[in-house]
């Protein structure tokens, strides 16, 4: 049984322009997979600053446990001299969210980390319409109070036909 082969000219074109035929896929959720929105957390701290003491305690005690519990998130710890401690979250849609931890107690830091981890990465906005639709209704939402005539069912007998 003979196997199929591309013509030589077409094969040369495909090899020369192979990057045009194979395009990288964008990460997005679908039926068979779930992609976590938060892909990276960067912890920045100052070694000498008093505002970073609670952050340093958190990094020494709980950060490794957080990294083991969330293997889908890249955890980076970086010194940031003479600055307040911050946590920067990077999301799959390209957005970043930064939270300053100046004055935050050590037991409150896991809540901040959890909120950054669970955030969708979308910008917060106010929804004026509660239903998001590609084709909104032309007539609007039906309500019986919009009708001028009061429809009452008083007579169940069929009306006689006039001749």
Domain ranges of the chain: 45-122
pLDDT at 122: 84
Strand bridging mode 74-79 / 86-91: unpaired
- The whole-model pTM stands at 0.61
Per-residue pLDDT reduced to its tens digit, 6-38: 455 555 555 555 555 556 666 667 666 788 899
Edge-to-edge strands, sheet with 96-100: 74-79, 38-45, 86-91, 96-100
Q: CATH homologous superfamily of domain 45-122? A: Glutaredoxin (3.40.30.10)
Q: Which residue has better confidence, 80 or 136?
A: 80
């Amino acid at each position: 049984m003979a196997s199929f082969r591309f013509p030589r000219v077409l094969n040369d074109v495909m090899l020369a322009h192979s990057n045009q035929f194979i395009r990288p896929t964008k990460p997005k959720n679908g039926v068979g997979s779930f992609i976590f929105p938060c892909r990276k957390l960067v912890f920045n701290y100052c070694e000498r600053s008093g505002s970073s003491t609670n952050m340093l305690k958190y990094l020494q005690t709980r950060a490794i446990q957080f990294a083991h519990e969330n293997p889908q998130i890249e955890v980076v710890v970086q010194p940031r001299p003479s600055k307040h401690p911050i946590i920067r979250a990077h999301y799959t849609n390209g957005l970043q969210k930064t939270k300053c931890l100046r004055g935050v107690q050590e037991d409150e830091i896991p809540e901040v980390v959890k909120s950054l981890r669970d955030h969708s990465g979308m910008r917060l906005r106010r929804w004026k319409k509660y239903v998001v639709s590609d084709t909104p209704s032309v007539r609007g939402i039906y309500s019986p109070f919009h009708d001028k005539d009061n429809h009452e069912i008083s007579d169940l007998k069929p009306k006689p036909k006039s001749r």
